[in-house]
Structures are given as C-alpha cells and as structure tokens.
C-alpha cells in the first residue's frame, strides 16, 4: 500500500512569509472593524458651497450629492453614509471620516492630504487618481473599487482590506502597511518603493510590473501565488535564471 504524505495537496493554500530566512507559516492579519452606524440616519442635501472650513456632519445620510470640485479643510464626517456622491476633483485637506460607509460614488482625483479614516467601508466607488497622502487609514475596507493611478505616498494603513479592487499604477511609496490584506486585486505596475510592511497578505493578486517588489519582504502569500510570481520575486532578489540547455561536454582525460 503506497505511503501517504500528510503535507501533499495542502501547500497551495498555505501562507508563507517572504523573508530572508526559510519560509514559515504566517500569522494572519487582523480584520478591520466595521463602521458603527445608527439604524436611522438623517437625510441631508448638500451643495459644494454649503460647508464651512472645519464643519462637522454627524449621523447623516448624503445621497446623490453633486460636490465635484469642492474645496475646504478640516471637514469631519462621523456616523454617516455616502451614497452615489460625486466628490471628484475636489480638495479636502485634513479630511476626517469616522464610522462612515461609502456606497458607489465618484471620488476620482480627490486630493485629501493628511486625511484620517477610522472604521470606514467603501464599496463600488471610483477613486482613480485620488491623492490621499501623508494620512492614516485604519480599520477600513475597500471592495470592488477602481483605485488605479491613485497615490497613498507616506500614508499609514492599519487593519485595512482591499478586495477585488483595481490598483494598477497605484503609488504606495514610503507607506506603512500594518496588518493589510490584498485579495484578488490588480496591482499591475503599482509602486511599493520604500514601503514598510508589518503583517501583510496578498492572495490571488496580479503583480505584473510591480515596482519595489523587494519591499514585499515580510509579506505572506499562498504558495501557488509565490510560484506564479517566481520571475518577479527572483528579479527583486537579483537571482539570474540559467538556461535549461544541455551541460557542456567534458574534455577527455
């Protein structure tokens, strides 16, 4: 009777660390906390010039607002839901979101330097070209979002999940990723230069042309993904690939 290897067939689903030492099973990242929202929120209609600098909106639902190009600072949203809101091309310096749900909407090219997000869930939104730099994003989830060409340079991510998101050519330079998971995301030509990682997982992601791939040291991936991205990881480590040609003939003694 043939012997059975208890490890066979399971390695494709095993997470492994990408470190200088031998690969080892990783510790799972922490899941983000969900927004804490009241069952009933007050509907509010907004115009681009309706908010003063430092304004606070709490316990509201904003649906279908056309706020493209809005410019203000210190805006604070707490316990709120945004549905199909257009904030494209705006500039919201020091934006603060706490316990906020964003459903669909257009946040393309929204500049929000030094923002702070805590317990925020974003579903089906467009964030193409968004500029969320030097900020803090904690306990946040992004699902089915288009976030290509966005920049998060210098931003700290903690307990954040990206699921089924387009992140092609996204800029994470000098960002800190602490307990962050990317699942089935397209990171084609994204830039990880200078990124620092503390418990980060990638599963089923496209990494073609990824810049700064050496910064994945310390991340965890399923074994099948490690094998599928062997060329990228080898290049990041400076490993030369030898041709599989025949060995040179030895000279006769």
224, part of any domain: yes
The CATH number covering residue 199 comes to 2.160.20.80
| Predicted confidence band of residue 24 (pLDDT cuts 50, 70, 90) | very low
- CA dist 89 → 48, 98, 135 (Å): 12, 22, 18
Residue 43 is assigned to a structural domain of this protein: yes
Domain annotation covers residue 212: yes
- Comparison of pLDDT for 64 and 17, the residue scoring more: 64
pLDDT tier for residue 5 given thresholds of 50, 70 and 90:
very low
| pLDDT of the residue at 237 | 83
Q: Give the pLDDT confidence of 55-84 residue by residue, as tens digits.
A: 999 999 999 999 999 999 999 999 999 999
pLDDT tens across 201-225, in order?
Answer: 999 999 999 999 999 998 999 999 9
Number of domains present in the structure of the chain: 1
Determine the pLDDT at residue 1.
44
Query: Across all residues in the chain, what is the average pLDDT?
Result: 89
Which residue segment(s) compose the domain that 91 sits in? 15-236
Asked if residue 174 lies in contact with residue 153, where contact means CB atoms within 8 angstroms, the answer is: yes
Average pLDDT for residues 117-140, to the nearest whole number?
98
178 in any annotated domain: yes
CA 78 to CA 24: how far, in whole Å? 41
Residue 52: band (very low, low, confident or very high) from pLDDT cuts 50, 70, 90: confident
Q: Is the pLDDT of residue 3 over 60?
A: no
Joined tokens for residue 29: 């990242």
Q: What percent of the chain has pLDDT over 70?
A: 86
pLDDT per residue as tens digits for the range 131-176:
999 999 999 999 999 999 999 999 999 999 999 999 999 999 999 9
Task: Give domain status of residue 9, yes or no.
Answer: no
- Does residue 247 form part of some domain? no
Q: What is the pLDDT of residue 28?
A: 83
Domain assignment present for residue 136? The answer is yes
- What is the spatial distance between Cα 45 and Cα 92, in angstroms, rounded to a whole number? 18
pLDDT at 43: 96
**142 inside domain:** yes
């Amino acid at each position: 009777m043939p012997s059975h290897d208890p490890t066979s067939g399971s390695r494709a689903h095993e997470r492994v660390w990408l470190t200088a030492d031998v690969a080892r099973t990783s510790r799972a990242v922490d899941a983000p906390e969900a927004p804490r929202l009241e069952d009933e929120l007050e509907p509010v209609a907004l115009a681009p010039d309706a908010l003063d600098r430092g304004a606070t909106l709490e316990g509201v639902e904003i649906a279908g607002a056309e706020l493209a190009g809005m410019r203000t600072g210190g805006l604070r949203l707490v316990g709120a839901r945004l549905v199909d809101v257009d904030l494209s091309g705006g500039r919201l310096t020091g934006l603060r979101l706490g316990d906020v749900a964003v459903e669909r909407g257009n946040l393309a090219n929204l500049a929000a330097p030094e923002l702070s997000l805590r317990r925020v869930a974003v579903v089906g939104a467009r964030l193409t070209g968004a500029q969320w730099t030097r900020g803090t994003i904690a306990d946040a989830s992004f699902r089915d979002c288009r976030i290509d060409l966005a920049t998060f340079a210098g931003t700290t991510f903690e307990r954040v999940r990206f699921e089924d998101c387009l992140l092609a050519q996204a800029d994470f330079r000098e960002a800190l990723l602490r307990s962050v998971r990317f699942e089935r995301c397209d990171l084609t030509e994204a830039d990880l230069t200078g990124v620092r990682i503390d418990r980060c997982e990638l599963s089923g992601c496209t990494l073609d042309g990824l810049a700064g791939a050496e910064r994945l040291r310390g991340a965890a991936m399923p074994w099948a993904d490690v094998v599928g991205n062997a060329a990228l990881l080898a290049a990041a480590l400076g490993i030369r690939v030898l041709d599989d040609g025949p060995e040179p003939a030895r000279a006769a003694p």
